[in-house]
C-alpha cells in the first residue's frame, strides 16, 4: 500500500493506492472514510486492479479548509487528483455521498471517467424515502458518538475535535443539494452499474427510473442486446449494511468492470 496527500484546490487530500492494473477510484460515504466504507471490499477489489481510495474534504485524514462542503467542489477535487496521479480515465466506485460526488464527477469532468459504479445514489431528492432527509436534518452530532464512523474519525482525523464542524457542514450541504435534470443522466456515456439495497435510503422506484434514463429497462434478448448500464438491488440489505455485502458486491462489480467498454460509435 502507498499513501500520500495530493494538493487540490487549496486542499491536501489523502489517498491510498492498493494493487496494480486498471485504476479504480473509491469515494466513501458521509462522515465515513476509507475503512468504514470499503474495508470489507478493498482487498478483493485490489486483487485485479489498482485501487485509489480518496478521503474527501474534512473526512478521514483530510483536514477541512475554509469553504463550504459541496458535491460539486468535492467532484472537482477528485477530478484534479485523478489527473495529478496519472490515473485517467479511471473507473469510479462511489457509495452514498461518494456516489453523489461520482455523479457530479461524470457530469462535470467526463474525460476522467471510464466506468461508474454508484451505490445508493439519487439524482433528485425525490429519490429518497419521504420525510427521511427532514429527519436526518434534525440529528445532532452527539447522536453519532460511539458509532463506527465517529470512532474512525477520532482515530485518524488530524483535528478530532472538528467532528461537530463536519456535521454542521454536511447538514448545510444537504439543505442546498440541487436536483440533476433527467437530461444530465441521459447524457452519461460511461457504462454505469447502479446498486441499492432493497431497504436502502433510495426508493427502488427511483433506482429503476434512473436505470431507464441510462438506457436500461429494455428487453435484452433483441439483436440490440443488453444495455451498457446495469442495475442491482441487493436482497435483505439496508443503506448502512450495503458495503458489508462483499459476497454479492465483489463478483458483480468485478464482472462489470472487467467487461470491455462498448464502442462509442
SS3 262: coil
Here the cell at position 242 is 450495503
What's the CA gap between 256 and 258, in Å, rounded? 6
What's the CA gap between 193 and 93, in Å, rounded? 9
Mean pLDDT of 25-43: 97
pLDDT digits (tens, 9 = 90+) for 60-71: 999 999 999 999
Distances (CA, A) of 220 to 186, 190, 229: 19, 19, 12
What's the CA gap between 123 and 121, in Å, rounded? 7
Q: Using the predicted structure, report yes or no on whether residue 265 has a pLDDT greater than 80.
A: no
> Which among 228, 195, 207 is positioned nearest to 117, based on CA atoms?
195
pTM for this model (two decimals): 0.96
Mean pLDDT of 48-52: 97
Amino acid at each position: 500500500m502507498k499513501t500520500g496527500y495530493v494538493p487540490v484546490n487549496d486542499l491536501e487530500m489523502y489517498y491510498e493506492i492498493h494493487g496494480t492494473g486498471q485504476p479504480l477510484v473509491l469515494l466513501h460515504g458521509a462522515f465515513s472514510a476509507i475503512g468504514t466504507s470499503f474495508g470489507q471490499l478493498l482487498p478483493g477489489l485490489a486483487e485485479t486492479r489498482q485501487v485509489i481510495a480518496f478521503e474527501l474534504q474534512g473526512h478521514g485524514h483530510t483536514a477541512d479548509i475554509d469553504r463550504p462542503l459541496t458535491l460539486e467542489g468535492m467532484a472537482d477535487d477528485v477530478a484534479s487528483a485523478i489527473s495529478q496521479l496519472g490515473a485517467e480515465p479511471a473507473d469510479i466506485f462511489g457509495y452514498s455521498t461518494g456516489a453523489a460526488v461520482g455523479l457530479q464527477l461524470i457530469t462535470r469532468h467526463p474525460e476522467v471517467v471510464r466506468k461508474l459504479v454508484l451505490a445508493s445514489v439519487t439524482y433528485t431528492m425525490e429519490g429518497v424515502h419521504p420525510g427521511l432527509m427532514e429527519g436526518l436534518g434534525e440529528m445532532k452530532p452527539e447522536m453519532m458518538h460511539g458509532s463506527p464512523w465517529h470512532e474512525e474519525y477520532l482515530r485518524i482525523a488530524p483535528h478530532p475535535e472538528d467532528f461537530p464542524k463536519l456535521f454542521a457542514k454536511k447538514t448545510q450541504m444537504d439543505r442546498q443539494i440541487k436536483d440533476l435534470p433527467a437530461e444530465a443522466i441521459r447524457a452519461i456515456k460511461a457504462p454505469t452499474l447502479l446498486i441499492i439495497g432493497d431497504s436502502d435510503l433510495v426508493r427502488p422506484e427511483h433506482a429503476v427510473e434512473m436505470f431507464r434514463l441510462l438506457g436500461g429497462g429494455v428487453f435484452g434478448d433483441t439483436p440490440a442486446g443488453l444495455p451498457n448500464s446495469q442495475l442491482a438491488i441487493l436482497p435483505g440489505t439496508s443503506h448502512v449494511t450495503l458495503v458489508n455485502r462483499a459476497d454479492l458486491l465483489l463478483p458483480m462489480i468485478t464482472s462489470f468492470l472487467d467487461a470491455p467498454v462498448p464502442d462509442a460509435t
